[in-house]
Each structure stands twice: as C-alpha cells, then as structure tokens.
Chain A
Amino acid sequence: MPFLHITTRIDDHPYDSLLREKGGTGFPTLMFLDPGGRKLMRYRGPRTVKGFEESLGDVEEFTALLKRAEQGDKKVAGKLFIRQLELEWFSFEEATRRYKKLTKVSGKEKKQIESLLVDTEVRTITKDAGRDEDKCLSAGKHFLGMWKDKQIPGSDAQLYSFWLFIANYAEEEGDKKLFKKTVAEFKKSVGTNRQYRKALKVLEERLENFTRS
C-alpha cells in the first residue's frame, strides 16, 4: 500500500514529524511500516522492481517472526529482539527491560544484543538531549564514561552523535587532548562516510582554533 508522506513545516500539520519519529534523517527515505505504524524496514536498496520485491520478502520474513512470537514461540525471541533493536523500536530503558525478560538467547545472539543496546543507549540519550545545551554536555560526559568502559556504538549514525557529543564536552571542559583524541576517533570511524564529511571538516577547524587558543 503506497503512502506518500510530505514534511511541510506548516504549523500543526498532522504527522509532520513522522520521518523523525521513524528514525529517518534525510530525503527521500523509503520505509515499510505495518498498519500500526511500526517500522518493518528502512529500504536502502536499488530503486528497481526487483529490489523492492526482494525487500518485501525480508519484510514478510520479519512479520512472520512477529506472528510466531505473538503466538508464544519462545525460540524466535532472540532473533526477533535483535531485529527490533536494529529497527530502533525501543528506548534504552524499554530495551533493557525486555532484555532482562529474555530467557532463550544463544551466546551469539547475546553478543549481538549487547552491542545493539549500546547503540540504543546512545540514540535514546541523544534524542532526549535534543538541543538543550546542559543535557548535551551531560550526554557528552556520559558517552565519555561509556568510551572508557569500551562501550562504543556500532552504527555510523550513533558513532557520529557519540564522538560529536564527547568533542563538545571536551571543548566545554577546555580539554584539548581529549578533543584531539575524539576528532581522531571521529575521523577513523565515520570519516569516510560522505554524510559526515562536512561535520568532520568543521570538527577539524574547531580543533585547529582550539589548539591555537
């Protein structure tokens, strides 16, 4: 069922922030949702009939997994939870609560879940901080603690927020060494991603000014 969502920026336009709510960041974004509005897949493949048909197969596989879990099949719980975390269905608190309840999880699944929980934590904190300066600095401090504990996110989107918030915190604290180290990590992890090249350039300029000051 094709649905066209248009972000208008018109005051009180219904569902104008739907893209952001579903975790999208740019235009155009293609996504599969279930009738309840839950994200089933972010489509990143080729814009061809074949590409869309193949992705529909993946969507069907995921919805079948959901049905099996709803019918009480505990064997699929781990696999399903991993897909849900990848699709950003839960906040960090909700994800942690659900993870504690999971009983049948293999060692491999556990490793994957714990890695995805780091991404979920970074996403939740970043979203909560919004544009509030104090919250952003506090998030940066928290991420620094995660870094020290070797809790580093895996996805580029979360890595971007992670390093950027730490860099802002380092600047606020006047910690040049930390700022430099953070910019180097930013470059190493997402520096080759075209989406973040401009941000890297800005960070490098900030580093230069900061070092000179």
Chain B
Amino acid sequence: MRLVTPMKAATVCLLLASSVLAAPQSLEDKYEQKLAKRFVRYGGWESDYDVARARAKKEDKVLFVYFSRSYAP
C-alpha cells in the first residue's frame, strides 16, 4: 500500500482550496448577493414587479424604477 506523504497531502489540500475559491459563482448566487447589498436592504426598494405594481395602484403612485443587473459587475 502506498502512503501519501504529508507534502503531497498539503499540496492536494491547497489545490482543492484554491479551486473552491476560484469557482465561478452561479447566476443565482450573484442575484442573492445583489439583493443582500446595503442599498437594496435599507433603501426601501421593492424587488417584485407584481407586488410593486399592485402597491403603486393601491397607493395611487407611479413606479420609480432602477434597472440594474446581477450577472455582471
């Protein structure tokens, strides 16, 4: 039976760790990150189009829309 030397094991761990760090984020993760941004959480922004329109209609207001994206910076 061949044993893995401590040096080899450390190298594999390092490679695994770096591959996790460099893994591309999914579009879902990017979207969640955007929603978690400070200006979104505390700015009073509605992010559901149906809810926003229903509220605007009920409150007799217009929508002020900020179009942004999460798929790219």
On A, residues with C-beta under 8 Å from B are: 1-10, 13-15, 18-19, 22, 24, 27-37, 40, 52, 59, 63
Contacts and interface: CB of A to CB of B under 8 A. Distances in A.
Interface residues of B, number: 32
Interface of B: 27-28, 30-31, 34-35, 40, 43-47, 49-50, 52-57, 59, 61-71
B27 A1 contact: no
B12 to A, nearest CB: 34
B53 A37 contact: yes
Nearest to A36: B53
A36 B53 CA distance: 7
Contact of A8 (B55, B61, B70): B70
B71 A1 contact: no
A7 B65 CA distance: 13
B39 to A, nearest CB: 9
Given A35-B62, A35-B63, A3 B47 contact: yes
Contacts of B46: 1-4
A33 B65 contact: yes
B52 to A, nearest CB: 4
